[in-house]
């Protein structure tokens, strides 16, 4: 299974195995990655699964919808160029080794 | 519904549960009924309500995720009269209208928007708990659970004063109308009409609080983002759900913490568990028991066919105790992993105000972990409502840390 690397707020890196077809949010949730709240359960409704994607991976992940774009305007931690909602990033084999950083807070 | 209607014929081979799901008996103690519904099947016909009940966790999640076939645009009530007057607001809408309205209604409810009121809510919660600790006893509902919603949220909504005073009464009536066609719904109807007259005649641009959520709706109309007549309709998306649901969730958490002192001690030892404890209370005692969806096509739930045109009652409060999904489903466990509970719904209609609700409750419980050693609760009095589950009164005492 592809591995996703989460850099936590304290600098720790957690590497988790992610099933193809799951989202990065689900991979985080299923493996107990702290800091990915995902209150709406992946419906792109709550902006609490915000992550910063390592720039070298940005071009390889699914494009952002207008709706995600708007939700990112409401994130608890500042939006940056690399901001995405992890529930909107489906995992495939091409994303093995994907690196994302968990923001300090989702609120 | 007349005997021999297509629905009844088709339902004849489906599991049937002959209990009025909106009766006093079920409202007082719904969980044994939900267990029976789950045991009977994935989709169970309720002949007394003319509804299909969906009670298992996996099916509830699947139906809520399938907003194309299980629609909200024909209303989400169990009451056909209510469904006739409801559509047009966010709760009772389908994409693309829904997505458009959601952006507008949810704008002040995003984490970033709430960051502006966070400090005030936290300070108010600290001061509230400080006062309650000094009292020998208090009502956990009127004195505690209602405080932040009534003092701060109603101001954020920004209705003129008379509206703020009536919001609790109106909201309760709105939720009675979102359930069955019974005496509670009949009694709620004139109150709903009073609310509608108020939104039309009194919550006018010049009277609402500038910068408040309702004022933002008027701004959206000015900018041409919504039509002027939609301001009225969307106002109701704030009036209905912004207070009672949070109040009841708070009351449930208080009662559960009072009943489970070991769990309270865990929160005192590790306040980072508080957000999870909130989810656990909302799972175990879901403030909104269920809304309905309209089947826009013939769809199977499990092996039962829900015919196009029928209506399904999605029982969040049942899914959240489904023994197929949860170990020890009736136990309050603040360390439980529960990101897929449906207490805030699921899918595109998931609760727009959940961040605010959680902020309010988190602020109170955080203040309590600093000031309260133990929580004593007495026997709660249940509020009788067709859709909501919560307490009217909850005797409580805080022992100071």
The answer for residues whose C-beta is within 8 angstroms of residue B359's C-beta and 6 or more apart is A107, B114, B117, B118, B121
pLDDT for res B216: 96
Using alpha carbons, select from A64, A107, A70 the residue that is nearest to residue A86. A64
Local confidence band at A52 (pLDDT 50, 70, 90 cut-offs):
very high
Beta carbons of A46 and B115 less than 8 Å apart: no
Using alpha carbons, select from B283, B277, B286, B288 the residue that is nearest to residue B254. B277
Per-residue pLDDT in tens (0 to 9) along chain B, 401 residues: 444 444 544 555 799 999 999 999 999 999 999 999 999 999 999 999 999 999 999 999 999 999 999 999 999 999 998 998 876 899 999 999 999 999 899 999 988 888 889 999 999 999 999 999 999 999 999 999 999 999 999 999 999 888 888 999 999 999 999 999 999 999 999 999 999 999 999 999 999 999 999 999 999 999 999 999 999 899 989 988 889 999 999 999 999 999 999 999 999 999 988 988 999 999 999 999 999 999 999 999 999 999 999 999 999 999 999 999 999 999 999 998 777 899 999 988 999 998 899 999 999 999 999 999 999 999 999 999 999 999 999 999 999 99
Chain A residue closest in CA terms to B359: A107
Mean per-residue pLDDT, A34-57: 86
Beta carbons of A48 and B352 less than 8 Å apart: no
Chain A residue closest in CA terms to B344: A40
Using alpha carbons, select from B255, B279, B275 the residue that is nearest to residue B390. B255
Beta carbons of A107 and B355 less than 8 Å apart: yes
Q: How far is A70 from chain B (nearest CA, A)?
A: 8
Determine how β-strand A98-101 pairs with β-strand A50-53. antiparallel
Q: How far is B340 from chain A (nearest CA, A)?
A: 6
Q: How far is B255 from chain A (nearest CA, A)?
A: 23
Q: Could you tell me if B95 lies within 8 Å of chain A, comparing CB atoms? A: no
Q: What is the pTM for the complete model shown?
A: 0.90
Nearest to A39 among B65, B344, B348 (CB): B344
pLDDT for res A20: 93
Mutate to test the interface with A, among B279, B339, B348 (most CBs of A within 10 A): B339
Alpha-carbon distance values, A51 to A26, A35, A82, B69, B264 (Å): 13, 9, 8, 32, 32
Cα distance between residue B179 and residue B187, in whole Å: 13
* 3-state helix/strand/coil string of chain B: CCCCCHHHHHHCCCCECCCCCCCHHHHHCCHHHHHHHHHHCCEEEECCCCEEEECCHHHHHHHHHCCCCEECCCCCCCCHHHHHHCECECCCCCCCHHHHHHHHHHHHHCHHHHHHHHHHHHHHHHHHHHHHHCCCCEEHHHHHHCHHHHHHHHHHHCCCHHHHHHHHHHHHHHHHHCCCCCHHHHHHHHHHHHHHHHHHHCCCCCCCCCCCHHHHHHHHHHCCCCCHHHHHHHHHHHHCCCCHHHHHHHHHHHHHHHHCHHHHHHHHHCHHHHHHHHHHHHHHCCCECEEEEEECCCEEECCEEECCCCEEEEEHHHHCCCCCCCCCCCCCCCCCCCCCCCECECHHHCCCCHHHHHHHHHHHHHHHHHHEEEEEECCCEECCCCCECCEEECEEEEEEC
pLDDT of residue A19 exceeding 60, the answer is yes
The residue length of chain B stands at: 401
- Chain A CB contacts of B337 under 8 Å are 32
The answer for residues whose C-beta is within 8 angstroms of residue B373's C-beta and 6 or more apart is B268, B399, B400, B401
Chain B residue closest in CA terms to A41: B340
Beta bridge partners of B258: none
The residues in A 27-56 lying below 8 A from B, measured between CB atoms, are 29, 32, 37-41, 43, 45-48
pLDDT for res B134: 97
pLDDT for res B212: 95
The residues in A 61-90 lying below 8 A from B, measured between CB atoms, are 67, 70-71, 73-76
Beta carbons of B110 and A71 less than 8 Å apart: yes
- Chain A CB contacts of B352 under 8 Å are 45
Q: Are B272 and B373 in contact (CB under 8 A)?
A: no
Beta carbons of B102 and A39 less than 8 Å apart: no
pLDDT of residue A10 exceeding 70, the answer is yes
Chain A residue closest in CA terms to B347: A43
Nearest to B111 among A38, A67, A74 (CB): A74
pLDDT for res B100: 92
Beta carbons of B346 and A41 less than 8 Å apart: yes
Beta carbons of A107 and B115 less than 8 Å apart: yes
- Chain B CB contacts of A37 under 8 Å are 275
pLDDT for res B54: 98
- Chain B CB contacts of A41 under 8 Å are 339-340, 346-347, 350
pLDDT for res B337: 78
- Chain A CB contacts of B348 under 8 Å are 43, 45
Beta carbons of B350 and A46 less than 8 Å apart: yes
The residue length of chain A stands at: 107
- Chain A CB contacts of B110 under 8 Å are 47, 71, 73-75
Q: What is the ipTM of this complex?
A: 0.71
The residues in B 341-370 lying below 8 A from A, measured between CB atoms, are 344, 346-348, 350, 352, 354-355, 358-359
Q: How far is B358 from chain A (nearest CA, A)?
A: 10
Q: What domains can you pick out in chain B, each with its CATH number? A: 8-400 (1.10.630.10)
- Chain B CB contacts of A32 under 8 Å are 337
Using alpha carbons, select from A11, A102, A16, A99 the residue that is nearest to residue A55. A99
Q: How far is B63 from chain A (nearest CA, A)?
A: 13
Cβ neighbour number for residue B399 with a 10 Å cutoff = 10
The residues in B 151-210 lying below 8 A from A, measured between CB atoms, are none
């Amino acid at each position: 299974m592809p591995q996703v690397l989460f850099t936590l707020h304290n600098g720790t890196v957690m590497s988790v195995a992610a099933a193809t077809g799951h989202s990065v949010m689900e991979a985080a949730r299923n493996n107990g990655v702290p800091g990915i709240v995902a209150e709406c359960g992946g419906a792109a409704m709550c902006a609490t699964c915000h992550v910063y994607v390592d720039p070298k991976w940005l071009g390889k992940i699914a494009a952002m919808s207008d709706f995600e774009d708007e939700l990112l305007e409401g994130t608890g931690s500042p939006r940056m160029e690399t901001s995405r909602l992890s529930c909107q990033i489906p995992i495939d084999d091409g994303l093995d080794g994907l690196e994302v950083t968990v923001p300090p807070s989702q609120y | 519904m007349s005997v021999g209607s297509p629905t009844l014929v088709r339902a004849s081979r489906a599991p049937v549960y002959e209990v009025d799901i909106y009766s006093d008996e079920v409202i007082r103690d719904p969980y044994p009924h939900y267990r029976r519904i789950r045991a009977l099947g994935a989709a169970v016909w309720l002949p007394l309500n003319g509804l299909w009940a969906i009670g298992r966790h996996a099916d509830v999640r699947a139906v809520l995720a399938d907003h194309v076939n299980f629609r909200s645009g024909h209303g989400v009530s169990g009451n056909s009269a209510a469904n006739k007057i409801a559509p047009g607001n966010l709760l009772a809408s389908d994409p693309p209208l829904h997505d458009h309205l959601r952006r507008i209604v949810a704008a002040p409810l995003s984490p970033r928007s709430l960051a502006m009121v966070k400090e005030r809510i936290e300070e108010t919660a600290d001061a509230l708990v400080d006062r309650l600790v000094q009292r020998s006893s208090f009502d956990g509902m009127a004195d505690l659970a209602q405080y932040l919603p009534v003092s701060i949220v109603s101001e954020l909504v920004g209705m003129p004063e008379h509206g703020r005073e009536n919001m609790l009464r109106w909201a309760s009536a709105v939720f009675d109308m979102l359930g069955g066609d019974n005496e509670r719904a009949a009694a709620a109807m004139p109150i709903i009409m009073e609310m509608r007259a108020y939104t039309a005649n009194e919550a006018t641009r010049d009277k609402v609080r500038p910068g408040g959520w309702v004022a933002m709706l008027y701004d959206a109309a000015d900018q041409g983002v919504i039509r002027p007549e939609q301001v009225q309709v969307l106002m109701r998306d704030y009036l209905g759900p912004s207070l009672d649901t949070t109040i009841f969730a708070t009351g449930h958490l208080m009662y559960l913490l009072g009943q489970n002192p070991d769990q309270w001690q865990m929160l005192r030892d590790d306040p980072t568990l508080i957000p999870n404890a909130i989810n656990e209370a909302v799972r175990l005692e879901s403030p909104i028991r269920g809304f309905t969806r309209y089947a826009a096509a013939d769809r199977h739930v499990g092996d039962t066919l829900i015919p196009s045109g029928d209506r399904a009652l999605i029982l969040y409060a049942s899914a959240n105790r489904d023994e197929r999904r949860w170990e020890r489903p009736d136990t309050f466990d603040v360390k439980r992993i529960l990101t897929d509970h449906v207490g805030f719904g699921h899918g595109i209609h998931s609760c727009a105000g959940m961040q605010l609700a959680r902020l309010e409750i988190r602020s109170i419980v955080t203040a309590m972990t600093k000031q309260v050693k133990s929580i004593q609760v007495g026997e709660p009095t249940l509020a009788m409502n067709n859709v909501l589950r919560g307490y009217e009164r909850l005797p409580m005492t805080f022992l100071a840390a």
